[in-house]
Amino acid sequence: MSRHETSPTTVQPASNHRPNACCFCWCCCCSCSWNEDRERAWRASRETKLESIPNCEACAKPTPEEVQGWAQSFDKLMKSPAGRNVFREFLRTEYSEENMLFWLACEELKTECNKHTIDEKARMIYEDYISILSPKEVSLDSRVREVINRKMQEPSSHTFDDAQLQIYTLMHRDSYPRFLNSAIYKSLLQTISHSSSES
């Protein structure tokens, strides 16, 4: 690409010699050979997100009590838009953001009543998260996949209920305990408690 070409008088950092270096990280880790496949899948995942899902859910700033409540139960975390946003940021650091995106897409599908819209969104969810060709494929067992394949012949707003429950359980069991011990959550807890005590 011409924007990456440099004249002899222009000096650029070494990391910029790789045209596909990720935009969030300027350090040399972007060129690590062992990380290339994962980075490629992650970039493809970012570029093929469902357009209907916003980057970040609109929500009010959480109260210290609300943030503390997220540690009490996974349900409390997932029922809070702010909680989902923070948890999603954490999942992104673990390369598993597709789990939250899939869960959100299923929630959105459940609100639809129009048959044409349901068909369209169900197909998009299938292509983005169920298809084995997708870089954002979520981890589902074969039984659930078979159920989805049958239901896709006549999609409804509840086509992905079994899969959604399985991913919810996976996030609860696998990611949630690490989230509670993560720097992201602890830092937010500290910041919000500190600002609350000052006001």
CATH code of residue 187: 1.10.167.10
Separation between Cα atoms, residue 5 and residue 119, nearest integer Å = 45
169 falls within a domain:
yes
Residue 188 lies in a domain: yes
Through-space distance between the first and last CA atoms of the chain, rounded to whole angstroms: 51
Q: pLDDT tens digits for 123-150?
A: 999 999 999 999 999 999 999 999 999 9
Residue 79 pLDDT exceeds 90: yes
Coil, helix or strand for 19? coil
Is residue 27 helix, strand or coil? coil
Residue 194's pLDDT band, with cuts at 50, 70 and 90, is confident
CA distance 166 to 161: 9
Q: Residue 30 — pLDDT band, cuts 50, 70, 90? A: very low
- Structural domain including 112 reads 62-194
Q: Is residue 133 part of a domain?
A: yes
- Range from 20-34, 44-58, 65-79, 182-196 carrying the lowest mean pLDDT: 20-34
Q: What is the pLDDT of residue 13?
A: 43
Token pair 């209920």 is found at 161
Q: Looking at the domain assignment, is residue 119 inside a domain?
A: yes
**Whole-number pLDDT of residue 43:** 47
In a domain, 69, yes or no: yes
Under 8 Å CB-to-CB from 99, ≥6 apart: which residues?
A: 91, 138, 167, 170, 171, 175
Number of domains in the chain: 1
What's the confidence (pLDDT) of residue 61? Answer: 86
Res. 198: pLDDT tops 90: no
- Please calculate the CA angle 101-104-107 and round it to the nearest 5 degrees: 155
The answer to whether residue 8 scores a pLDDT higher than 60 is no
**Position 149 in a domain:** yes
Q: Which DSSP state fits 3?
A: G
Rounded Cα–Cα distance for residues 109 and 76 (Å):
22
For residues 72-77, average pLDDT: 97
Q: Give a yes or no: residue 158 inside a domain.
A: yes
User: Which pTM was predicted?
Assistant: 0.70
- 55 pLDDT band (50/70/90 cuts)? low
Model confidence at 47, pLDDT cuts 50, 70, 90, reads very low
Residue with tokens 């954490």: 90
Q: Is 123 helix (H, G, I), strand (E, B) or coil?
A: helix
Burial group, residue 15, by CB count within 10 angstroms (0-12, 13-18, 19+)? middle
Question: Taking Cα atoms as reference points, which of 108, 154, 151 lies closest to residue 130?
Answer: 151
Q: Are the C-beta atoms of 163 and 138 separated by less than 8 Å?
A: yes
CA pair distance 63, 76, nearest whole angstrom: 13
The per-residue pLDDT for 57 is: 65
* Residue 24 three-state SS: coil
Residues contacting 92, CB < 8 A, separation 6+: none
Domain-located, residue 18: no
Structure confidence at residue 114 as a pLDDT band (50, 70, 90)? very high
